[in-house]
Amino acid sequence: MQDPGPVDSPSPDGSPVSGLRWTEELSILGETLRLLESFFDGLPPFQVDWKVDPMRRELLALARELADNDPYFHPLYAGQMLKPPHPVARMAWALSLFINPNNHALDGGRATSRLEKSCIRSLGQLVGWTDPLGHLTGGGTVANLEALWVGRERQPSRRAVVASEEAHYTHRRMAGLLGVPFVPVPVDSRGHMQMAALDAILERADVGTVVATVGTTGWGAVDPVDEILVRREQHGFRLHVDAAYGGYFSLVSEHLEPLTRKAYESLGACDSIVIDPHKHGLQPYGSGAVLFRNPEDAQVYAHDSPYTYYTASGGHLGEISLECSRSGAAAAALWSTLNLFPLDPGGCFAKQLWDGCLAARDLADCLARDSKWTILNRPELDILVFSARARSVREAGQFNRRIFEATRGQGLYLALFEVPGHRLVSAQPALEMDQATVSVLRSCLMKPEHRSWCGEWIRRLEAAWAGSVGKAARIP
C-alpha cells in the first residue's frame, strides 16, 4: 500500500492518528485481566500444562497468514461492508474470552446475559421501543431467519414472504428453508420497492410477511416503510424490517432527505427489525440482533430444557432464540461500546455516522464534476455507485474492471457491483445498450475518516483511470 502522504486520519474524539497502535491496547487489556483474575483468587490453585513456546510459534505463523488481507481498517479501503471494531470492543471481546461465557442459559453466562439484555434495550431505543423482545445473533442472516420464522408461526394461514429485488439474497433462501413462497418486488430507479408492484402482489398472493430493507447492500437504498405500513393496515401482513446495514442511521435521520427520513420515522410501527452491530456499531464479527415489538412473539419460541434452565424461572436468552450456544463475548463488546458511545442523536457516535454520509456525498460531487465519471446513485446513506464513462454498456464494464484492478495498485480498494445495464443508461442516456448487465464501481464509505480522505481518493482514482483506460475512454 502506498504512503498516503500528509493526510491525517482523525480518531473518534477528533485528534489526529498517525499509524496503527494495536499493541498499545495490550497494556489496557493486561490491566483489566489482572483485575478480573483477582476476583477468582480464592479458588484452590491448579496447573494447566500449556507450553508457551509452541503457542508463540503458532501465533507468529498466524500473524504472517493474516497479512494476506486487504487493509480493511484503513480509509483507503471502502470495498465491502467492513468497518473496523473500536478498540474497546476488541478488548472487551478478548477479556470476556478468558471466562468464555455462553449466553444460552444463565448458568453459562449470568453477567453477559444481563449485559445482552441491556444492549437489546439500547438498540430498541433506535426505533422508539423501550423494552423489546430480542437477542444478539451471529449476524444478520440468522437474525432475519428468526424474524421470518416467527412471522410464519404467528400467521400460519398466510405463507408468502415478499421483499424487493434489491433485498439481501438470503431472504429468498430463507423462505425456501421455511417452506414458504418468496415473491420479489420490482424496484424504482433509486432501488426502492415499487408500491404499485407491491399492491398487485398483495391482491393476488397469500402474503404473510413483507420485508422492507433499510439500507440495501448494493445501493444503500431505503424502502418506503411508511407507505408499506399503510398497506399492512389494509392487508394484515407482518412487516419485518431488515435494517442490518442501515439501522443505526436512525440517529441521524433528521439530516437525511425527506423520503428517507419518513421511512426512519416509521420504524417503530414495524413488527420486527434486524440491526447488525458489526456493520456500523463498531463491533467485531459476528454481532447481529433481532428485535420484536410485541412481547407475545416469545410464545413461538416456547420449549423446555430441564438440564439447562435450572437456575431461574425465565430470563434465559436461549428461551427466545433459535440458536443454542452463543458466546457472551458479543454482548460484552457491544455493552462496553454503548457505554463509551451512547446512542444519542447529538453525540460523537452519531457524528461519525453522519460523516460517512457526507463522505459519500462529497465524493459523488467530486466525481460528478469530472467528465470521466458517471454517478449512478445519489447516496441515501454512505454507499456510492459510479462508473467510468464509455461509449457502450459493454465498454463501461470493461473500463470499470480495469480501474478496479488498477486502484489496488494505487493502494485504493473499491468493489465491483453487477447491475442491470439500463441503470447505467439512465445515468448516461447516450450510452449504447449492447449488454444486459454491467460491472460498475461501488464504495462503502463507512469510516468517519473517509471524508478527510476524499482528495486522496480522487488523486488515486485519477491515476488508476489514466493508467488503465487512458485514451480508450475519451468520449467524443
Secondary structure class of 137 (helix, strand, coil): strand
Cβ(344)–Cβ(350) below 8 Å: yes
Q: pLDDT exceeding 90 applies to what percent of the chain?
A: 80
Secondary structure class of 419 (helix, strand, coil): strand
Secondary structure class of 231 (helix, strand, coil): helix
Cα distances from 81 to residues 72, 77, 245, 280, in angstroms, run 9, 10, 9, 9
Give the pLDDT confidence of 345-382 residue by residue, as tens digits. Answer: 999 999 999 999 999 999 999 999 999 999 999 999 99
Chain mean pLDDT for the chain: 91
How would you class 88 by CB atoms within 10 Å of its CB: exposed for 0-12, middle for 13-18, buried for 19 or more?
middle
Helix boundaries (H) for 106-194: 110-124, 140-154, 170-178
Separation between Cα atoms, residue 40 and residue 390, nearest integer Å: 67
Q: Tell me, what's the pLDDT at 229?
A: 98
How would you class 121 by CB atoms within 10 Å of its CB: exposed for 0-12, middle for 13-18, buried for 19 or more?
middle
Q: Tell me, what's the pLDDT at 58?
A: 95
Separation between Cα atoms, residue 457 and residue 4, nearest integer Å: 10
How does residue 14 score in pLDDT terms, banded at 50, 70 and 90? very low
Catalogue all structural domains in the chain, each as residue range(s) with its CATH number: 110-340 (3.40.640.10), 348-473 (3.90.1150.10)
**Mean pLDDT on 100-112:** 87
Residue 2 has pLDDT above 50, yes or no: no
Give, in degrees to the nearest 5, the angle at Cα 160 between 156 and 162. 135
**Mean pLDDT on 280-286:** 95
Secondary structure class of 77 (helix, strand, coil): strand
Give the pLDDT confidence of 121-180 residue by residue, as tens digits. Answer: 999 999 999 999 999 999 999 999 999 999 999 988 778 999 999 999 999 999 999 999
Residue 429 identity (one-letter amino acid): P
Separation between Cα atoms, residue 152 and residue 76, nearest integer Å: 43
Q: Taking the CA of residue 343 as centre, how many other CA atoms within 13 Å lie in the half-sphere pointing to its CB?
A: 24
Give the pLDDT confidence of 405-427 residue by residue, as tens digits. Answer: 999 999 999 999 999 999 999 99
Separation between Cα atoms, residue 457 and residue 461, nearest integer Å: 6
Burial code (b: 16+ CB inside 10 Å, e: under 16) for 93-109 equals bbbbeeeebbbbbbebb
Give the pLDDT confidence of 187-242 residue by residue, as tens digits. Answer: 998 999 999 999 999 999 999 999 999 999 999 999 999 999 999 999 999 999 99
Burial code (b: 16+ CB inside 10 Å, e: under 16) for 77-87 equals bbbebbbbbbb
Q: Tell me, what's the pLDDT at 17?
A: 41
Give the pLDDT confidence of 58-83 residue by residue, as tens digits. Answer: 999 999 999 999 999 999 999 999 99
Separation between Cα atoms, residue 71 and residue 353, nearest integer Å: 21
Residue 305 has pLDDT above 80, yes or no: no
Q: Tell me, what's the pLDDT at 301?
A: 84
Residue 279 identity (one-letter amino acid): K
Separation between Cα atoms, residue 346 and residue 356, nearest integer Å: 16
How many angstroms separate the most distant Cα atoms in the chain?
82
